[in-house]
Amino acid sequence: MAATLEFFFDYGSPTTYLADTQIEALAKRSGAKLVYRPMLLGGVFKATGNRSPVEVPAKGVYMGADMARFAKRYGVPMNMNPFFPVNTLPLMRGAVVAQHDGFFAAYQKAMFRAMWVDEKDMNDPAVIGEVVSAAGIDVTSLLKRTGEQDIKDELKATTEEAVNRGAFGAPTFFVGDEMFFGQDRLEFVEAALSG
Amino acid sequence: MAATLEFFFDYGSPTTYLADTQIEALAKRSGAKLVYRPMLLGGVFKATGNRSPVEVPAKGVYMGADMARFAKRYGVPMNMNPFFPVNTLPLMRGAVVAQHDGFFAAYQKAMFRAMWVDEKDMNDPAVIGEVVSAAGIDVTSLLKRTGEQDIKDELKATTEEAVNRGAFGAPTFFVGDEMFFGQDRLEFVEAALSG
């Protein structure tokens, strides 16, 4: 039986974008079943008492350099979003809808790209609409769906599940009960999947 | 001319212990000049607004697992110190003395081992004395020297220098102006030295 790799993510996290650029190929190499778990990072921070690294200015400066090193190593584009931090609640609810309604791959790619390559202001509903439309997704239908209670509840439940299993930030990976935090632990994730 | 690798450290940091187990061999492989820079991590935290990761309980739990993974990879012993966190001010002043008085290698090894292998209570002056003596270092002379103003000033100056150059935690490495934070960035440190 193929191992399962759970990927807890939030579009507002730049290191999660880096992980997202690598995770599909990693799962394929490992023969693992990749399960995307949209969560609300703000909710995780609130529940655990954690905070964004950029709240320590020196850490924020360093993180920019550190992420650029990984982007270079991975050979992927990356730009810091000038509108960071972003309230990702509507975006993450959209991810839940996208999973249910069959356009997750396109949505995931569009969101991470808008945030961490194209530097879009994803706090602005009009900008979100443009990004979604450009990805070939029906905005009106998406907006309606993100307002539904079961979608809201599912995002909340996944966020609570992540916290209950030990998560305190993003990206967080699980291989069974083994948790890995950070895009810089993909090597250990891959080892766990092959172990 | 050989490149210089500066290693800013504090004995109270478990990830810095992990780095210390690797850094000498790394410098040797790279043909780099390794310069040990004792600093006071508590002073760095205070100056930058950073805090120990273990202040977020979920992060503390995960860090234990994460460090155990690296210890296994490196093939080195590691135990969480039950007396953590420790006020390392006397220990770090001792490191400055050890550099001046020619017994740094023995002192460094003894301190990291007492903290992160032998689980000693390094808040206790009597325990510090035992550890220092067992390493063949004269305790009376060390104690006298750690009280001297120039030793105190030097530790303070190095801590301030680290902060001014962008450090917010330990271990921190510099290759010229390039800063690297964390024992999990040694690969990038090595690449910078060979670049």
The string of pLDDT tens digits covering residues B1-19 is 689 999 999 999 999 999 9
Q: Which long-range contacts (CB under 8 A, 24 or more apart) does A138-143 make?
A: A141/A101, A142/A94, A142/A97, A142/A98
For the segment B36-72, what is each residue's pLDDT rounded down to a tens digit? 999 999 999 999 999 988 889 999 999 999 999 999 9
Using CA coordinates, name the residue in chain B closest to A164: B58
Q: Under an 8 A CB cutoff, do B49 and A56 touch?
A: yes
Which residues of chain B have a Cβ shorter than 8 Å from any chain A Cβ?
48-50, 55-59, 61-62, 65-66, 69, 163, 166-169, 179, 181, 184-185, 188
Q: Under an 8 A CB cutoff, do A163 and B48 touch?
A: no
Residue B55 is predicted with a pLDDT of 87
Contact A97, A91 (CB under 8 A): no
* Chain B nearest C-alpha distance from A189 (Å): 11
- Contact list in B for residue A163 (CB cut-off 8 A) is 58
Q: How far apart are CA B97 and CA B125, in angstroms?
A: 17
* Chain A nearest C-alpha distance from B175 (Å): 14
The per-residue pLDDT string of chain A (195 residues; one tens digit each, 9 = 90 and over) reads 689 999 999 999 999 999 999 999 999 999 999 999 999 999 999 999 999 888 899 999 999 999 999 999 999 999 999 998 899 999 999 999 999 999 999 999 999 999 999 999 999 999 999 999 999 999 999 999 999 999 999 999 999 999 999 999 999 999 999 999 999 999 999 999 997
Residue A95 is predicted with a pLDDT of 98
- The one-letter amino acid at A111: M
- Which residue in B57, B168, B188 is closest to A56 by CB distance? B168
* Chain B nearest C-alpha distance from A109 (Å): 28
- Which residue in A50, A55, A163 is closest to B59 by CB distance? A50
Mean pLDDT of chain B: 96
What angle in degrees, to the nearest 10, is found between the helix axes of A125-134 and A89-101? Answer: 30
Q: How far apart are CA A124 and CA A13, in angstroms?
A: 17
Which residues of chain A have a Cβ shorter than 8 Å from any chain B Cβ?
48-50, 55-59, 61-62, 65-66, 69, 163, 166-169, 179, 181, 184-185, 188
Q: How far apart are CA A184 and CA A67, in angstroms?
A: 10
Residue B175 is predicted with a pLDDT of 98
Which tokens sit at B147?
Answer: 């009280």
Residue A195 is predicted with a pLDDT of 74
- Contact list in A for residue B173 (CB cut-off 8 A) is none
Choice among A49-58, B97-106, B132-141 with the minimum mean pLDDT = A49-58
Residue A1 is predicted with a pLDDT of 63
- Alpha-helical runs (H) found in chain A: 14-30, 41-48, 57-74, 89-101, 104-116, 125-134, 139-146, 149-164, 186-194
Share of chain B above pLDDT 90, in %: 94
* Burial label, B1 (beta-carbon count in 10 A; 0-12, 13-18, 19+): exposed
Using CA coordinates, name the residue in chain B closest to A166: B58
Q: How far apart are CA A169 and CA B53, in angstroms?
A: 12
* Chain A nearest C-alpha distance from B33 (Å): 23
Q: Under an 8 A CB cutoff, do A69 and B188 touch?
A: yes
Residue B1 is predicted with a pLDDT of 63
| Confidence band for B195, pLDDT divided at 50, 70 and 90 | confident
- Please give the distance of CA A19 from its chain centroid, rounded to a whole number: 8
Angle at A170 between CA A132 and CA A157, to 5 degrees: 75
Residue B187: in which H helix or E strand, if any? helix B186-194
- Which residue in A49, A66, A185 is closest to B56 by CB distance? A49
Q: Under an 8 A CB cutoff, do A59 and B66 touch?
A: no
- Contact list in A for residue B168 (CB cut-off 8 A) is 56, 58-59, 62
Tell me, what's the ipTM? 0.93
Using CA coordinates, name the residue in chain A closest to B167: A58
Q: How many CB pairs under 8 A join A and B?
A: 53
Q: Which residue has the tokens 């390493």?
A: B135
- Which residue in B49, B58, B184 is closest to A48 by CB distance? B58
Q: Under an 8 A CB cutoff, do A58 and B66 touch?
A: no
Residue A2 is predicted with a pLDDT of 81
